[in-house]
Amino acid sequence: MAWKSKSRNLQVFDTELSADTVEWCPVPSSHDILACGTYQLQKGAGEEEAPPSRTGRLYLFEFRQEGSLSPPLTELQRIDTAAILDLKWCHVPLSGRGVLGMATATGELQLYTLSDSQEGGRRLHTLSSLEVGAERLALSLDWSTGRMDSSDVRLVCSDSAGCVSVLSLAEGALTTLSQWKAHDFEAWISAFSYWDTQLVYSGGDDCKLKGWDLRVGPSCPTFTSKRHSMGVCSIHSNPHREHILATGSYDEQVLVWDGRNMRQPLSESPMGGGVWRLKWHPTHQHLLLAACMHNDFHILHCQQALEESGRACPVIASYILHNSLAYGADWSRLSLEEPAPCSPVAAEPKKSLAESRGHLRIQYESPTASFDTSLEDDAGRYIPEGIAAPSVTATAGPTLNPKEDAPSQSYLLASCSFYDHMLHLWRWDWTPDQAPPESEPC
């Protein structure tokens, strides 16, 4: 059995500076708000070469479903900042407003509130900032509110000195509750367990994944896993299934874990690129979005992995229209009910479907002029020109579901890539079947 799956590009935006993080606002009144952060290394100049500086820019967008003739994303605001390493919205409104957290190259954790402006529309306003340490980069942050729980709002932040900090937010002010040396090198990622927010996970360039119980203090981790063979750079707790978390690494593997047994993962899925970010779907417990650096963006289905340990998570959709390092990616919570629009620029196929073995050829002009054509397979995945289209009968991916009356689900996603400084808005249409496709043997 298989699924019908198709992805469609809706818009491309040039962020000018290298883009590395995107986040849709999870607060119900602002699901149409998207933030994007950039990171640019400026080399020093002059006879005595100055040390490099890191600059960034924070973008705020609004998504509008006004028809296929107008770009759906409208830029609301841009703020020049220090280079941005990570962005995360608080999952619940604070004092009635959305709050965005930002980890910067100056070692600061900065907070912004989202509110209506006097000129109309919505804008970000500075709320608070706190330096987590001198001469270090703040690399990641996470909120304790992943299950939409506002009873105890805290943040966790990791940095380039290998430290992890836990902070509280009270009356708009950030306060450090604890900070400790967690890793020998850069602590690329830190995250809460959304089911028990006294538990914190961290991953570092020392190839270690660690757990910490804040009730007993950070003097000793609750576990240390060396299951990843390279730096651990992504961790996300599943907000729908207790004990479940996903981790990603430079070793190109996505591991799904049961937090009650961190000796062996439930599944291991090779992704063909370093896994920089992982995001569980906000409402569907089995869908996992992966930004895979040198191998684009992919959506994994993890149901069988959770039910049968040892099963790899099959990729059920891919988005490969970026032309640089795949860093930032996120799901929108918006409901898409209109028919899926076409790709940005369409052309008549040069071959019949029979001649092209069931694959449709489309035109796509990249703003970077790096490529202008691609192939699309039956699963809606794009294949760059020059790569042979697989046979319709191939088993390398999911095929069309013959059940035309099956309910279709549509999701809106955003992703960004680094050196070509591009933000992409895209749509994924999916008709789920009763069972996921079989994962391929390695």
What ranges do the domains of the chain cover?
7-42+52-344+410-431
Alpha helices in 256-402 (DSSP H): 303-307
> Token pair for residue 112?
């912004």
* Integer Cα distance of 343 and 352 in angstroms: 19
Which one has a higher pLDDT value, 153 or 308?
Answer: 153
Cβ atoms of 104 and 85 within 8 Å: the answer is: yes
Average pLDDT of the chain?
84
pLDDT at 67: 65
Instruction: Inform me whether the pLDDT recorded for 442 exceeds 50.
Output: no
Give tens-digit pLDDT for 199-256: 999 999 999 999 999 999 888 999 999 999 999 999 999 999 999 999 999 999 999 9
pLDDT at 14 over 60: yes
CATH superfamily placement of domain 7-42+52-344+410-431? YVTN repeat-like/Quinoprotein amine dehydrogenase (2.130.10.10)
Q: Between 345 and 308, where is the model more confident?
A: 308
As a whole number of angstroms, the distance between CA 330 and CA 23 comes to: 6
- The secondary element (H helix, E strand) that includes residue 34 is strand 33-38
Q: Is the pLDDT of residue 23 over 70?
A: yes
How many whole angstroms separate alpha carbon 442 and alpha carbon 218? 39
Q: For the segment 255-297, what is each residue's pLDDT rounded down to a tens digit?
A: 999 999 999 999 999 999 999 999 999 999 999 999 999 999 9
Distances (CA, A) of 365 to 16, 270, 343, 362: 18, 30, 10, 10
Distance CA 128, CA 106 (A): 15
| pLDDT for res 117 | 82
pLDDT at 51: 77
The half-sphere exposure of 73 on its side-chain side, counting CA atoms within 13 A, is 26
298-302 long-range CB contacts below 8 Å, 24 or more apart? 298/271, 299/428, 300/254, 300/269, 301/436, 301/437, 302/246, 302/256, 302/267
- Has residue 52 got a pLDDT over 90? no
pLDDT value at residue 438: 53
pLDDT: is 361 or 133 the higher one?
A: 133
Least confident segment among 4-18, 77-91, 202-216, 349-363: 349-363
Q: Which residue has the tokens 């009910």?
A: 337
pLDDT given for residue 192 in this prediction: 98
Report d(CA 22, CA 39) in Å as an integer: 12
Q: How confident is the model at residue 47 (pLDDT cuts 50, 70, 90)?
A: low
The dihedral built from the CA positions of residue 388, 392, 396 and 397, taken in this order, carries a sign that is: positive
Average pLDDT over residues 159-169: 98
Residue 71: Cβ-neighbour burial (10 angstroms; 0-12, 13-18, 19+): middle
Closest to 301 measured CA to CA, from 430, 408, 407: 430
User: How many residues in total does the chain contain?
Assistant: 442
pLDDT recorded at residue 276: 98
Q: How confident is the model at residue 45 (pLDDT cuts 50, 70, 90)?
A: low
pLDDT of residue 407: 76
**Contact 328/36 with Cβ under 8 angstroms?**
yes
Work out the average pLDDT over 379-408.
39
Please say if the pLDDT value at position 404 is more than 70. Answer: no
pLDDT above 50: residue 298: yes
∠ CA 398-392-400, nearest 5°, is 40
The terminus-to-terminus CA distance of the chain in angstroms comes to 20
How does 263-277 read in b/e, with b if 16+ C-beta sit within 10 Å? eebbbbbebebbbbb
The residue type of 216 is: V
Give the integer Cα–Cα distance in Å for 267 and 304: 9
Question: What confidence score (pLDDT) does residue 355 get?
Answer: 34
Given this model, what pLDDT does residue 371 score?
Answer: 28
The pLDDT of residue 185 is: 98
Q: Provide the pLDDT for residue 361.
A: 28
Interval 356-391: pLDDT, tens: 333 322 232 323 222 232 334 444 443 433 333 333
For the segment 43-60, the average pLDDT, to the nearest whole number, is 82
